[in-house]
Amino acid sequence: MIQPLDVVVLISGNGSNLQALIDGMQAGRLPIRINAVISDRPGAFGLERAERAAIAAQAIAPRDFPGKEAWETALAAAIDLHSPGLVVLAGFMRVLSAAFVRHYRGRMLNIHPSLLPKYRGLHTHRRALEAGDATHGASVHFVTEELDGGPVILQAEVPVLPGDDEASLAARVQAVEHVIYPQAVRLFAEGRIRMRDDGQVEYDGMPLTAPLPAQA
Ligand code: GAR
């Protein structure tokens, strides 16, 4: 049995991806220990999900600090208290500074609701619909200084169906997010995925040249 990896999860809202990780951990499918969940929004439902799972939950809101730097300093201190081997952004909706991101280089993952490199930033479902795309999806990637631009590890596609609106498409994407995020976290925790100093992702010691699909 490998030693579980210490993980801190950052959220801003509902926390359904956090829930998928909690479920995987509790079912013994994920060799991780979520030590803390931190939200930038005090009312985030994900904090309640954490408390229900007996995980330390805390809000660190930018408005309680004189500026972004002070907020990030407090956030990093709260994270580093747990010496995490991995920081998971799960619907965390703040843009982090380059210095902050560098501090967690190679040990911070994000999930983004698009088939990156398509549709970085916001309103991804609306943009996919407006473009008339036949497929859409979600990507798990290492976080680098470039917003939604870090190397992609796993990607899942969903069809765009006739009659879809933003809500129906978002729901279909979220369903696959809940599959691929735990899978990516497991691969990382097992040491099978890592990001080299030059930004290249390695999978089982070999350069990953295209995102992995959802694992069977
Ligand atoms: C997810 O769909 C995630 O992909 C997205 O926010 C949602 C959070 O849902 N993230 C981003 O847009 C990041 N730019 P959740 O709180 O239920 O996990």
Count CA atoms closer than 13 A to 43's CA, side-chain side.
0
- Average pLDDT of the residues in 126-149: 98
d(CA 28, ligand 1 centre) in Å:
24
Mean pLDDT to the nearest integer, 199-212: 98
Q: How far is residue 47's CA from residue 38's CA, in Å, rounded to a whole number? A: 8
Pocket of ligand 1 from Cβ distances under 6 Å: 11, 13-17, 46, 90-91, 111-113, 138, 174, 177
The rounded Å distance from CA 78 to ligand 1 centre is 22
Cα–Cα distance for residue pair 145/76, rounded to 1 Å: 16
Per-residue pLDDT tens over the stretch 14-71: 999 999 999 999 999 999 999 999 999 999 999 999 999 999 999 999 999 999 999 9
38: phi then psi, degrees, rounded to nearest 5: -125, 135
Active site annotation includes 125 = no
In percent, the amount of the chain with pLDDT more than 90 equals 98
Q: Quick one: 5-210 is in which CATH superfamily?
A: Formyl transferase, N-terminal domain (3.40.50.170)
Q: Who contacts 81 (Cβ-Cβ below 8 Å, separation ≥6)?
A: 36
Band (216; pLDDT cuts 50, 70, 90): confident
Q: Is the pLDDT of residue 156 over 70?
A: yes
Model confidence pTM above 0.85: yes
> How remote is the CA of residue 92 from the centroid of ligand 1, in Å?
7
Q: Name the active-site residue from 82, 112, 136, 178.
A: 112
Q: Give the C-alpha separation, 132 to 125, whole Å.
A: 11
Q: Which atom of ligand 1 is nearest to the CA of 12?
A: 16
Average pLDDT, rounded, for the chain: 97
- Indicate whether 1 pLDDT > 90: no
CA 1 to ligand 1 center in whole angstroms: 32
Ligand 1 atom 5: residue of nearest CA? 91
Residue nearest atom 6 of ligand 1, based on CA coordinates: 91
Give, in degrees to the nearest 5, the angle at Cα 7 between 5 and 8. 170
Note the pLDDT of residue 111: 98
> Which ligand 1 atom lies nearest to the CA of residue 121?
14
pLDDT for 118 beyond 60: yes
| Amino acid sitting at position 175 | A
Average pLDDT of 123-128?
A: 98
